[in-house]
Structure 1
């Protein structure tokens, strides 16, 4: 019989949680781009890279909320300290 203890170990749970966090971040980044696109706002390559590279769920949440009301895509970054981006 195979040893399945790894699948219930703290390490495997940590790996699964990291995957869930990464998946949520990727989904939120995609949602930001969808909202900006639906609003027909141009998204520069640099802005797209910044959005998709971000892994901070709270920062992505703020950007998502801002994406619904800004006049330009770059405005979603306004007010965030450089260390947060």
Structure 2
């Protein structure tokens, strides 16, 4: 596993205090996305595979899952246009 703290397609184990950034997906052609619903809250403990939020653009609506287990310490505000690869959530290892 890579120690890179960006989105990946596998479960990453976080050490206590280690932070993991979840970024807005790149849906191609510089399509901005909007977080329309957070399904978790700041300071909430989440597990690998939990759905964190719902995002959409003019063509796609999708759920974004966590790649890690930990505590949410930052969440991007709802209903704002977000460029691809912008940090939308930070999870801290327990």
TM-score normalized with structure 1 length: 0.28
Structure with max Cα Rg: 1
Higher relative contact order (CA 8 A, sep 6+): 2
TM-score normalized with structure 2 length: 0.26
Which structure has more strand as a fraction of its residues? Answer: 2
Which structure has more helix as a fraction of its residues? Answer: 1
